[in-house]
Chains A and B, each alone.
Chain A
Amino acid sequence: MKKILFSLFILSTVLMYSQASVCGQFHRKYCVVETKRGGNGGWLYNAQSKSGLFNQGSTSKIRCVIYKGMDYRINVCCETAIGDKLTYKIFDARTSELLYDNSTAQNEPLFEFQSTASRQLIIEVTVPNGATSQDKHKPMEAACVGLLIEHKVTERQGFSQY
């Protein structure tokens, strides 16, 4: 019996760390934005992107830096196990002012924006409770959530010295 319990403990530990490893680059594999014309429109991967293991009702935040003169694109994606109603909010890190809330846009995972000034942002991602309540066959368990951030230099309008 002890051997079985020990084996189960080892197995669950391995599973947990395996899952963590899988989540590590989840956003790079699964949050990629597909464009109708192919290519990625000049968007570059931003190293502040992140993936993590969430269960329903959990929230996590990253504090990142964005620069004036750049366009940014955020895309949040997840595994089906925890549903498709991910919400995220963007706050100004200094003032805590809410700058964007995707629940006001039908939980749209993709958001393109630029900023009038360089600043620190808090991006707060939440997997709501009951995200899979409509499908009783899906277990309520943890799953990977990815937050992909991409950037590109804002195209200048009119003539430019560059």
Chain B
Amino acid sequence: MMIKRKHFLIAPLALTLVLASCGGDKTEGDDDMSAGVDTLKTETQTEQVTETFFQVPSPGEMLTFIKMVGGKNNKNVSFLNSADNQKNYTDNKTKALNFGIYSCDLSYCSIFEIGSEALKYFKVVKQLGDQIGVSSAIQPAVLKRLEGNLGNPDSLSVITDDVYFSSFEALEASKQGPTLSLVVAGGWIESLYIATSLAKYDAKSPVVERLADQKYTLDNLIEFLKKYESDASVAGVLAQFTDLQSDFAKIGEKDAVASTDKTKNVLGGGKELAITADQYKAIVDKIKAIRNSYTLTK
């Protein structure tokens, strides 16, 4: 898996990993991995661990999962943030949060093959993107690609995913960490809001299980936000998410069932989460409250 590039740049100043995606953090103080790091130092004294980067799955991953486990015929858009609300977002914080929210709504419309709505949300994403500094990532040509692929949901999803990833990269490259963290937070909360709008509680529902598993994603997202908590807007979101984390912490755990599949590499161990109806309701209510505080809706 080696790649030869003709224009490899000599970079003596770049002593280590320099790119940050979801927030990097010094290894020291990372309690979760302290034992693992100690092990590594013992094995290879000359190697230096630099940073831990906290990654967050894209909103599209959750939405694709919902579709694949039974939501193929869903066309409901009633719970999405109305495109008309865009005019209400005048400060940088609400613009960034709702850029993430609208990007998720755009992804939803693409994945569930609601083409006309996808076009509408693309235009909102484009307008907000211009305002938060990612205009280079959302070129007008993308709109033509969208219009040309309205009947092709797979292509639509690829195009809208590209919009999200390109925006992510543009914010990262321009060192707009606080804005990036707000975008990621907005997209994540909207994906949960959509999921909980579609799924009724059923302990065995794959969507409900996936919602409970967001406990892990929320942990990563909070670590990511902490990197920028000196920013007042990020600090406010961090406080809300930390409060939500306390509800996720109440979900019970049990040992995962060992796999009997001998044909695949299976990472064993771990814990399965078992969410009760009351816990589910509490989380759903809090997700709704947080999300609506961002969209400025009731």
Q: Which A residues form the contact surface with B (CB < 8 A)?
A: 12-13, 15-16, 18-25, 30-31, 44-48, 50-55, 57-65, 67-69, 71, 75-81, 83-84, 86, 89-100, 109-122, 124, 126, 128-129, 139, 141-143, 151, 153, 161-162
- Whether A98 touches B36, Cβ cut-off 8 Å, given contacts A52-B19, A79-B3, is yes
B216 touches A84 (CB 8 A): no
Is residue B68 contacting chain A, with contact meaning CB distance below 8 A?
yes
Binds A, one of B41-49, B139-147, B276-284: B41-49
Residue contacts A-B, CB under 8 angstroms, 11 given: A15-B9, A18-B9, A54-B17, A59-B49, A78-B2, A80-B4, A93-B33, A100-B267, A117-B271, A118-B213, A139-B10
- Whether A92 touches B270, Cβ cut-off 8 Å, given contacts A20-B18, A79-B2, A113-B265, is yes
CA distance A22 to B13 in the complex (A): 16
- Closest A residue by C-beta to B161: A45
B270 touches A91 (CB 8 A): no
B33 touches A111 (CB 8 A): no
Q: Which of A65, A75, A78, A113 contacts B57 (CB 8 A)?
A: A65
Q: Which of B19, B33, B209, B261 contacts A91 (CB 8 A)?
A: B33
B51 touches A61 (CB 8 A): yes
- Closest B residue by C-beta to A78: B2
- Closest B residue by C-beta to A111: B265
**In whole Å, how far is B154's beta carbon from the nearest beta carbon of chain A?**
10
**In whole Å, how far is A143's beta carbon from the nearest beta carbon of chain B?**
7
CA distance A46 to B64 in the complex (A): 12
CA distance A11 to B295 in the complex (A): 44
User: Which residues does chain A contribute within 8 Å of B27, judged by CB atoms?
Assistant: 61
User: Which residues does chain B contribute within 8 Å of A115, judged by CB atoms?
Assistant: 266-267, 270
CA distance A51 to B292 in the complex (A): 34
User: Which residues does chain A contribute within 8 Å of B268, judged by CB atoms?
Assistant: 116
- Whether A142 touches B3, Cβ cut-off 8 Å, given contacts A61-B49, A124-B40, A129-B47, is no
B19 touches A23 (CB 8 A): yes
A16 touches B14 (CB 8 A): yes
- Whether A79 touches B8, Cβ cut-off 8 Å, given contacts A111-B265, A142-B14, is yes
CA distance A126 to B12 in the complex (A): 19
- Whether A80 touches B3, Cβ cut-off 8 Å, given contacts A19-B9, A96-B34, is yes
Q: Which chain B residues in 1-60 approach chain A with CB under 8 Å?
A: 1-5, 8-19, 21, 27, 32-36, 39-40, 44, 46-58, 60
User: Which residues does chain A contribute within 8 Å of B2, judged by CB atoms?
Assistant: 77-80, 83-84
- Closest B residue by C-beta to A109: B1
B270 touches A12 (CB 8 A): no
User: Which residues does chain B contribute within 8 Å of A109, judged by CB atoms?
Assistant: 1
Is residue B117 contacting chain A, with contact meaning CB distance below 8 A?
no
Q: Which chain B residues in 213-272 approach chain A with CB under 8 Å?
A: 213, 216-217, 219-220, 223, 256-259, 261, 264-272
- Closest A residue by C-beta to B212: A118
Binds A, one of B73-81, B90-98, B121-129, B165-173: B165-173
User: Which residues does chain B contribute within 8 Å of A64, judged by CB atoms?
Assistant: 55, 220
- What mask results when residues 193 to 213 of chain B are scored 1 for a CB within 8 Å of chain A, else 0? 000000000000010011001
User: Which residues does chain B contribute within 8 Å of A57, judged by CB atoms?
Assistant: 46-48
B53 touches A61 (CB 8 A): yes
A59 touches B68 (CB 8 A): no
Is residue B61 contacting chain A, with contact meaning CB distance below 8 A?
yes
Is residue B83 contacting chain A, with contact meaning CB distance below 8 A?
no
CA distance A126 to B16 in the complex (A): 11
**In whole Å, how far is B27's beta carbon from the nearest beta carbon of chain A?**
7
Q: Which of A60, A81, A96, A112 contacts B17 (CB 8 A)?
A: A60
B55 touches A62 (CB 8 A): yes
**In whole Å, how far is A46's beta carbon from the nearest beta carbon of chain B?**
7
**In whole Å, how far is A34's beta carbon from the nearest beta carbon of chain B?**
10
User: Which residues does chain A contribute within 8 Å of B290, judged by CB atoms?
Assistant: none
CA distance A22 to B216 in the complex (A): 30
